[in-house]
Structure 1
Amino acid sequence: MSDQVDTRSGALRGFLAAGGARNGGLVLALLLLCVVGWVTAGDRFASVQNLVVVLGLAAITGVLSIGMTFVITSGGIDLSVGSVLGLASVWASTVATQSMAREIGWIVMVVCALAVGLGAGLVNGILVAYGRVVPFIATLAMLVAARGLAELIANRRTQLVDVPSFEAAFRGNVLGVPKIVWIFAAVAAAGWFLLARTTFGRRTVAIGGNVEAARLAGIKVKRHTASLYALAGLTSGIGAVMMLARTDAGSSTNGTLMELDAIAAVVVGGTLLAGGRGTIVGTVLGVLIFTTLTNIFVINNLNSSVQAVAKGAIIVAAVLLQQRFAAREGASGA
């Protein structure tokens, strides 16, 4: 009998260690928000059409948040993902790029956006890993530089997309769901597999937990760190393609403050700001929680300032809970 009790308690500890309880709490929070939305707005919130709207709004921020999860799990931060998205959207929608896309195909615009995002992310990674610049400073510099370069390229004008093949490929729905939502789902699935099921993910967690121990274990910390920022830049490029598909326009203002939404979603989702633990499932739930909250405020015509206060309170509560869980885990480990 005692063996059965020990087995059950061990399984429970394993469940908690795997983050099941945290994800369960996030699901509960999301369900409670849905109840609030249904009570306050009725069918306007509970309709299938509104659900599609929520998913569409969550998609771009969600893709940025996937890349951000890897960076924060390693103990870093990337403040530039929103600005890099704006730069990539502008570069991919210039007259020259669109002219090539009309002749060759939509792939030209996609490759351009991904290359710009990957390049900017790689610059961040090199500065942080090899230049030993503090991540906050390196990515803050990229935030400013990328936004300024986007303004120079676009001359502070909105560049309309006029490539029929691009619009056909990325606009519209599949099975009643916007294509950008399917892209988000694919990126989230790939991110989950990469973080939870590959050596790359285990190395990311190890670096976030203890850089020196990771180095002594044979992990090439600098190269891996640079690749993480490059990955975050790549997700910014993907987000730029999605932004072009959703708005049909490239603008230097695209992605403004999205880095803050991404960081908030990652933190609320359960990824430790100090590094060493990350969860893609939690990040997706965090994105959905914030998007649903925004949707409820918009439907009920509530003050956006109150919405900002509510988001701030959620972030503070999430960080406090993280500290409490970390303290308990440290005590139990001791």
Structure 2
Amino acid sequence: MTQSISPPRGDTGKAAPGAAPPAWRALVPRADVRILSLLGVLAALVVIGGITKPDQFLDTRNLQLVLTQASVIGVVTVGMTFVITSGGIDLSVGAIVALASVWATTVATQEYGFAGVLFTAVIVGVGCGLINGLLVAYGGMVPFIATLAMLASARGLALQITDGQTQIVTIDSILELGNRDSYVLGIPPLVLVFAVVTVIGWLVLNRTTFGRRTVAVGGNAEAARLAGIDVRRQRLYLYLLSGLCCGIAAFLLIVLSGSGQNTNGNLYELDAIAAAIIGGTLLTGGRSTITGSVLGVLIFTTITNIFALNNLQSDVQQIAKGAIIVAAVLVQRRTTSTT
């Protein structure tokens, strides 16, 4: 008879009298240091922005803009964090966002109003995630190849739907969500959606069986299988989750831009992966933090905003992002080797 062993939940696990403390507790202080380090980097960027462009950067409207822009890629990053935690990767998230946004803003779809646009964006995202999941989990394809194929296909289909044209949204109830009149206590609705997705993602990853299974699959898929976890089904669910996040992000982007374009979501996959990595998620799987991923998104969005306010070239911005990614990976390798 095989006895399944459940990993400790949260911080409630207790070692038996006289036994050594569980190994997972050693990660808690390190995780706290990582989060504090990210907060320190974000605070330093705020100081830099405040010094270089005090009147513009610290303006309430600009800070609201930073948070709003972070919301779209942030929702995508939450889904990406789950996929990477399981040891996978999703290179198609940007293309899925583009496809969902243009499919949801066609004239035929807009005839169904707010609900029709939202439903279409979400269902297209989930559908693409389903295809990715089936190819990876049951088709035996390497995640890199499967999602790369989806990237090309989704971009091509988005271009075919739009014929290279911008599709303007004409539904007032959607456009009004981007107006300041719809802000709740000064917080844009898109930011509230991002906050809700973040909280749900954190709870699912840290307080549910689904989250523990995700970590187990990423840590050692064979051991997870022997423990009774259906690894293939778990991976399918994770790509469905990533597709769902892409669908939600597509709708947020529609609200933000008031249109659907085949160029939407350009390089989102790189930004989402980078944000997850600097947040502490291991590319090899088995360890992640939603909080760190969100801070990574805020760091990158703040950098972009500071560069824009100071009229610096985008190539310099990309170099800075690349340097941050390299530094984060080197730190990961060092901390992993000492664990």
Task: Report the TM-score, using the length of structure 1 for normalisation.
Answer: 0.92
Specify which of 98, 114, 117 is matched with residue 109 of structure 1.
Answer: 117
**Structure 2 residue ranges without an equivalent (≥5):** 1-22
Q: By how many angstroms is 1:13 displaced?
A: 4.2
- Counterparts in 2 of 1:110-129, with a 5 A limit? 110-129=118-137
3-state DSSP class of the match of 1:208? helix
| Counterpart position of 2:262 | 252
- Is the contact made by 1:60 and 1:243 (CA closer than 8 Å) also made in structure 2? yes
| Counterpart position of 1:185 | 195
Specify which of 59, 65, 71 is matched with residue 59 of structure 1.
Answer: 71
Q: By how many angstroms is 1:14 displaced?
A: 5.9
| Counterpart position of 2:279 | 269
Structure-1 separation of matches of 2:220 and 2:146:
21
**Structure 1 residue ranges without an equivalent (≥5):** 1-9, 330-334
- Is the contact made by 1:170 and 1:242 (CA closer than 8 Å) also made in structure 2? no
| Counterpart position of 1:4 | none
Specify which of 21, 25, 33 is matched with residue 37 of structure 2.
Answer: 25
Specify which of 197, 200, 207 is matched with residue 197 of structure 1.
Answer: 207
Q: Is 1:164 aligned with 2:176?
A: no
Specify which of 84, 87, 93 is matched with residue 72 of structure 1.
Answer: 84
Q: Deviations over 1:253-285 (max 9, x none)?
A: 111111111111010110000000010000000
Structure ranking higher in helix proportion: 1
3-state DSSP class of the match of 1:174? coil
| Counterpart position of 1:136 | 144
- 2:28 maps to amino acid: F
Q: Is 1:287 aligned with 2:297?
A: yes
Q: Deviations over 1:185-241 (max 9, x none)?
A: 111111001101100000000000000000000000000101101100110000110
Q: By how many angstroms is 1:11 displaced?
A: 12
| Counterpart position of 1:15 | 28
Q: By how many angstroms is 1:12 displaced?
A: 8.9
- 2:288 maps to amino acid: G
Q: Name the % identity.
A: 55
- Is the contact made by 1:86 and 1:240 (CA closer than 8 Å) also made in structure 2? yes
Structure-2 separation of matches of 1:156 and 1:299:
30
- 72-81 vs 156-165, which moves further: 156-165
- Is the contact made by 1:63 and 1:188 (CA closer than 8 Å) also made in structure 2? yes
| Counterpart position of 2:216 | 206
Q: Is 1:308 aligned with 2:324?
A: no
- 295-304 vs 134-143, which moves further: 295-304
Q: Deviations over 1:274-298 (max 9, x none)?
A: 0000100000000000111111111
3-state DSSP class of the match of 1:35? helix
| Counterpart position of 2:232 | 222
Structure-2 separation of matches of 1:119 and 1:287:
26
Q: By how many angstroms is 1:169 displaced?
A: 5.1
